[in-house]
C-alpha cells in the first residue's frame, strides 16, 4: 500500500523537523502547505500577495486557496507525507480516502512557545535551527550554505498566541475526526527529536487498528 501520511499537531510541535527525516527514510515526497505558501509570497505571485495578510498575522489562509494549491502540488503522486494540511474539517473532507495514516505530534503549549521563540531559519535554503536544541555552529550563519539566519515573521510572541488559538479552534477537531476513522496515532512531541522520530517510525510501520 502506498504511504499517504499526515503529520498533525500545533505550530512548532516539530512537524517540519520530523517530515524531513521521515521523507528521507521512507523515500516519499514532503508536501508542506506552509512552505508552498511562503514560496508564493517570496516569488510575489498573485496568490502570495493574497495570502500574506493571513500568514503574517498567524491566521489560516482560506480553504479554497490552500486546497487548490495542495491539489496542484500533489498532481498524480501516489504516496506522500503532508505537513500542515489538513487544518480544517473542510480541508480533511477534500482529501477523503486519500490518507491512510495520521500522526498527531502532541506537545505542551509552554514547550512550543519556547521552541518557536528560539527557532531560526536560513534566509536562502530550507534549513531550520533552534537556539536551544539545535543551534548553528556559527552564530547567525547557516551551517549548510553560510547565508544569514532569520526569524520567521510569524514567530513573534503575539503571532505565536494567535497561531495556537487557531490551532485549538480550527484544527484540533481533526483529532476526533481521524480517531473515528481509526487512522490516528499520537506521539509525545515534547521528547528529544531522535526519540520522536523513533516513535513516529514505529507508528508508521504498525497497522491501523
- Nine-digit cell string for 172: 484540533
Question: CB-based contacts of 38: which residues, under 8 Å, 6+ apart?
Answer: 55
C-alpha to C-alpha distance for 140 and 68, rounded to whole angstroms = 36
- Beta-bridged to residue 102, according to DSSP, are 6, 184
Cβ proximity of 154 and 145 under 8 Å: no
Binder among 5, 8, 11, 80 for ligand AP5 (CB under 6 A)? 11
C-alpha to C-alpha distance for 20 and 4, rounded to whole angstroms = 15
**Is 96 among the residues known to form the active site?**
no
Binder among 5, 6, 47, 61 for ligand AP5 (CB under 6 A)? 61
Binder among 73, 134, 150, 153 for ligand AP5 (CB under 6 A)? 134
Residue 101 interacting with ligand AP5 (CB under 6 A): no
The SS3 assignment for 174 reads helix
Residue 199 interacting with ligand AP5 (CB under 6 A): no
How many residues sit in the footprint of ligand AP5 (CB under 6 A)? 32
Residue 117 interacting with ligand AP5 (CB under 6 A): no
Residue 29 sits at the vertex; the CA angle it makes with 103 and 52, to the nearest 5 degrees, is: 80
**Is 115 among the residues known to form the active site?**
no
**Is 87 among the residues known to form the active site?**
yes
Query: Where in the sequence numbering do the catalytic residues fall?
Result: 15, 87, 119, 152, 163
**Interface residues with ligand AP5 (CB under 6 A)?**
11-17, 33-34, 37, 54-55, 58-61, 66, 84-85, 87, 91, 115, 119, 128, 130, 133-134, 154, 163, 192-193, 196
Amino acid at each position: 500500500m502506498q504511504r499517504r501520511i499526515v503529520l498533525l499537531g500545533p505550530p512548532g510541535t516539530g512537524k517540519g523537523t520530523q517530515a524531513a527525516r521521515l521523507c528521507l527514510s521512507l523515500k516519499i515526497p514532503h508536501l508542506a502547505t506552509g512552505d508552498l505558501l511562503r514560496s508564493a509570497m517570496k516569488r510575489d505571485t498573485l496568490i502570495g500577495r493574497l495570502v500574506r495578510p493571513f500568514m503574517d498575522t498567524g491566521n489560516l489562509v482560506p480553504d479554497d486557496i490552500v486546497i487548490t494549491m495542495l491539489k496542484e502540488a500533489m498532481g498524480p503522486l501516489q504516496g506522500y507525507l503532508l505537513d500542515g494540511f489538513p487544518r480544517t474539517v473542510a480541508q480533511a473532507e477534500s482529501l477523503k480516502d486519500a490518507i491512510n495514516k495520521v500522526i498527531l505530534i502532541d506537545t505542551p503549549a509552554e514547550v512550543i512557545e519556547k521552541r518557536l521563540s528560539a527557532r531560526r531559519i536560513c534566509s536562502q535554503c530550507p534549513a531550520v535551527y533552534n537556539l536551544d536544541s539545535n543551534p548553528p555552529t556559527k552564530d547567525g550563519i547557516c551551517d549548510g550554505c553560510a547565508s544569514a539566519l532569520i526569524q520567521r515573521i510569524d514567530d513573534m510572541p503575539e503571532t505565536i498566541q494567535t497561531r495556537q488559538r487557531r490551532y485549538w479552534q480550527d484544527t484540533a477537531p481533526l483529532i476526533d475526526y481521524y480517531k473515528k476513522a481509526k487512522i490516528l496515532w499520537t506521539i509525545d512531541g515534547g521528547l528529544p527529536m531522535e526519540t520522536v522520530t523513533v516513535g513516529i517510525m514505529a507508528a508508521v510501520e504498525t497497522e491501523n487498528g
